[in-house]
Amino acid sequence: MRTLVFAALLLTTTAAFADDASTARIAALEARIAALEARISELERAPAPAASGLPTDEEFERTLGFMERFMRRFIGIAKEFETEKTPDRT
C-alpha cells in the first residue's frame, strides 16, 4: 500500500512540475513572440532603402570624376617612364 501511495504522490508531483515547466515555457515563448512582433512593426515603419541599391546620378558622376583624375595621372606617369632615356647597353 505504501508503494502505491508513494507512486501516486510521485506522479502528482511530477505532473505539477511538468505543468509548471510547461506554463513557464509557454510564457517565455509568448514574450518572445511579442518582442518579435514589436521588432517587425518597427522595421515596417522604417523607410525602405533604395530598391535598386545603385548609387544616385550625383554619386556616380562624383566617382567617375575620381576615376578620371586617377587614370589621367596614371597615364601621365606611364608616359614619363616611356620618355626617360634608357642607358645604351651596347
Q: Kindly state whether residue 69 falls inside one of the protein's structural domains.
A: yes
Say if residue 15's pLDDT is above 80: no
Per the structure, the complete domain to which residue 39 belongs is given by 1-46
Q: Are residues 2 and 42 in the same domain?
A: yes
By the 8 A CB rule, do 55 and 63 touch? yes
The confidence score (pLDDT) of residue 89 equals 64
Q: Kindly state whether residue 90 falls inside one of the protein's structural domains.
A: no
**What is the spatial distance between Cα 34 and Cα 43, in angstroms, rounded to a whole number?**
14
Q: Are residues 36 and 69 in the same domain?
A: no
**What is the spatial distance between Cα 40 and Cα 48, in angstroms, rounded to a whole number?**
13
Confidence of residue 21 (pLDDT cuts 50, 70, 90): confident
Query: What value does the mean pLDDT take over residues 72-82?
Result: 91
Say if residue 8's pLDDT is above 70: no
The confidence score (pLDDT) of residue 58 equals 94
Confidence of residue 59 (pLDDT cuts 50, 70, 90): very high
Q: Are residues 10 and 37 in the same domain?
A: yes
Q: What does pLDDT average to over the chain?
A: 81
